[in-house]
Structure 1
């Protein structure tokens, strides 16, 4: 059975090869290790293997991990799940990044509750396939929303995030990723600080990288299936 360190090494090799195959620099894609539901000991193993970016979905679980690992000063914590209004303060105080911004009220609360001495990096979540049961903005809503987010003092708009529809054909996946790539290009042209397209997971990261992803969110391929 492979160790977390071995699986992490394999994931990095896959990312680098996918970037090269897409005629991109091998270091142009970051790996966000999704550690939700996994114990602190798994995060430590990944950290000891060189991983520094970790993504969490559940606020209370994440905060307990962050507190347990507070001596690991160079960990960069990313929140990638839905945010309830009563949890924005915890997110603002504990995370460097939020990938799941899709409501103005939420991002305004994060702005007001985040430390004025540093900015909170955010990505707008896009419901690229218009699924009724999934969070995120419609593609046509993103640019207007971005204009509002960009005005907030303690928030830095860094890019976009999406979770494409599951169990679709390769052609449908490709169309979703191509749509995101086009939207990302439009956003970058408007805001020079935008540099992040959070797109692709364990099963589709190669295709996502081919379409310009700069950050892939990998959980299962590193930590194994959730119990």
Structure 2
């Protein structure tokens, strides 16, 4: 283990946590209501181990096979939570259902049905967040939700997912457009929060508590707008290695 790397990551974690606390207190929130996911996607195993040694417990992956390989390699590490935060192809639903603690990026009924089937076969349940595209970008996944006037269009699918017995919806996730000025992301975070409130009124028996939003470039704004999960990679671990394949 590279002790200097562990110290560097620990310092970065403390910096991020301090900024989370400051942003939360600024708007009257309990800092403990915000959970930090350290994004380890595309990072080599020595970096992941150093992050764990530095105190990271919630780890975020975006690619199913890569994430599963890390989960298996680190199965003896106690107290870890593995969060799938990237797009999931429906043909890889089984990998997610069998290995991850939470899915942040459920973006369609086809994936939901396949997940529910695999979970049912193994007697498991999986907490999930529904992904919404609040920025209107064609390159982003999720239900299109940039226009509040269109929100009623996806209600039938949401209702169908809520009826699946092995999926536990716990909130919403989004990835807004990237801006050099993080303040420009605020309307998108606010939009997701308002969408959460809209769904809470439509499906009052469901749990809509969580908002997964905010990355290294804009997480302080996300916290001010109500994020309960933020997903931080570069600000803690540095730039990722190029992904092969």
Q: Using structure 2 for the length normalisation, give the TM-score.
A: 0.86
Per the alignment, residue 176 of structure 1 pairs with 188
Match status 1:48 vs 2:81:
no
Q: Is the 8 A contact 2:97 2:126 kept in 1?
A: yes
Change (3 A) 1:191 1:15: farther
Deviation (angstroms), 1:195: 1.6
Q: How does 1:1-227 map to 2 (within 5 A)?
A: 3-114=8-119, 116-139=122-145, 140=151, 141-167=153-179, 172-189=184-201, 190-227=204-241
Contact 1:123 1:159 in 2 (8 A): yes
Alpha carbons 1:126, 1:142 under 8 Å: kept: no
Q: Find the aligned partners of 1:28 and 1:126 in 2 and give their Cα distance.
A: 22
1:98 CA displacement: 0.8
Distance 1:180 1:131 in 2: 15
Cα drift, residue 88 of structure 1: 0.9
State the distance in 1 between where 2:100 and 2:20 align. Answer: 25
1:66-91 C-alpha deviation (Å, 9 max, x unpaired): 01001124211111111112211111
Q: Which has the larger radius of gyration?
A: 2
> What is the CA deviation profile of residues 77-126 of structure 1, one whole-angstrom value per residue up to 9, with x for unaligned ones?
11111111221111111101111111101011011112554310111111
Hey, what's the Cα distance between the residues in 1 that align with 2:205 and 2:35? 21
Q: Which of 176-185 and 28-37 deviates more?
A: 176-185
- Whole-Å separation in 1 of the counterparts to 2:189 and 2:236: 23
Cα RMSD for the two superposed structures:
1.8
* Distance of 1:214 and 1:4 partners within structure 2: 22
Structure with bigger helix share is 2
Measure the CA separation in 2 of the matches of 1:184 and 1:48: 35
